[in-house]
Amino acid sequence: MSRDQIFQHPRAQIVDFVFDESVAGVFPDMIRRSVPGYELVVPMTGLLAARRLCRVDGPLMYDLGCSLGATTLATLRALDALDESSTDLAIHAVDSSAAMLAEAGNGISDGRVRFIEADIRDLILEPCDVVTMNWIMQFLPPEDRLTMLIRIREALKPGGLLIVSEKIHFEDSQQEAFSDSAHLDFKLANGYSELEISQKRSALERVMILDTQNAHLTRFHEAGFGPARVWFQCLNWVSFAVSA
């Protein structure tokens, strides 16, 4: 796994973060060292998805913002581990970054997985059973998030499942400060320098826009979903399981 050193050296000017070749090349290292719980949330997402997929005939799952396909792979592994025959399964793994999909295609070769290069806001969603959005909603313009969720809710079949994992912020300033400083320690302990952390934060400032947990829950409700549960939280990182 290549080490993320993208923000190691001082930069005269920080430009907005993009998921280009340099990020795709180090992404597994970057996300594990930056996102508390990544190594738990991805396989658990796979398990939650697999449980739903193995209950229906000809199941279809969308992995939106798939990056290198970690969630897709976790779902395939979970189906195997549950010993579920899943030959009629299809997973559409979607990302707008050609660089990410090129790396994903090198790592996953399975006839049930179709990688699609598209902006998920323009994608026509077929009737489906599971949709995963692991750390992508935060990169959509806030004004497009409700519309995206409505389109997902309309595509999900009855009994369908949406998983959304996100970084959140807190209305309570003390809670925000506590989580922020513990997250900073997490990154320092994982070998990032203060310079790297600060330069990356500046690069993400305008492209990664966080909501509160309540804003997420309210939006799921507004989009017409059934019950939404927080099934994982570590500091300011949460994951929701939302019923269609």
Ligand X SMILES: C[S@@+](CC[C@H](N)C(=O)[O-])C[C@H]1O[C@@H](n2cnc3c(N)ncnc32)[C@H](O)[C@@H]1O
* AA identity, residue 120: I
Among 6, 136, 161, 164, binds ligand X (CB under 6 A): 136
**Around 242, how many Cα atoms within 13 Å sit in the side-chain half-sphere?**
26
Among 34, 67, 75, 199, binds ligand X (CB under 6 A): 67
CB 225 within 8 A of CB 242: yes
Among 120, 137, 164, 241, binds ligand X (CB under 6 A): 120
Beta bridge partners of 92: 62, 114
Among 6, 61, 66, 90, binds ligand X (CB under 6 A): 66
Q: Is 152 in the site for ligand X (CB under 6 A)?
A: no
Question: Closest Cα to residue 132, out of 207, 74, 87?
Answer: 74
Number of H helices and number of E strands within the chain? Answer: 8, 7
Pick the stretch among 52-60, 118-126, 168-176, 186-194 that binds ligand X (CB under 6 A): 118-126
Among 6, 42, 44, 156, binds ligand X (CB under 6 A): 42
Q: Is 117 in the site for ligand X (CB under 6 A)?
A: no
Among 34, 75, 86, 97, binds ligand X (CB under 6 A): 97
Among 6, 61, 93, 140, binds ligand X (CB under 6 A): 140
Among 34, 53, 78, 95, binds ligand X (CB under 6 A): 95
Pick the stretch among 64-72, 152-160, 182-190, 222-230 that binds ligand X (CB under 6 A): 64-72
Segment (H or E) for 43: helix 38-53
In the complex, what is the shortest distance from the CB of residue 12 to ligand X, in angstroms, rounded to a whole number? 26
Residue 3 backbone dihedrals phi, psi, to 5 degrees: -80, 140
CA pair distance 139, 20, nearest whole angstrom: 14
In the complex, what is the shortest distance from the CB of residue 171 to ligand X, in angstroms, rounded to a whole number? 24
Residue nearest to ligand X (CB): 65
Tell me the three state secondary structure of residue 15: coil
Give the other-Cβ count within 10 Å of 174's Cβ.
8
Pick the stretch among 80-88, 94-102, 155-163, 180-188 that binds ligand X (CB under 6 A): 94-102
Q: Write down the H helix ranges in 82-163.
A: 98-107, 142-155
Q: How far is CA 136 from the centre of its chain?
A: 5
Binding site for ligand X (CB under 6 A): 19, 31, 42, 65-67, 70-71, 94-97, 100, 119-121, 134-136, 139-140
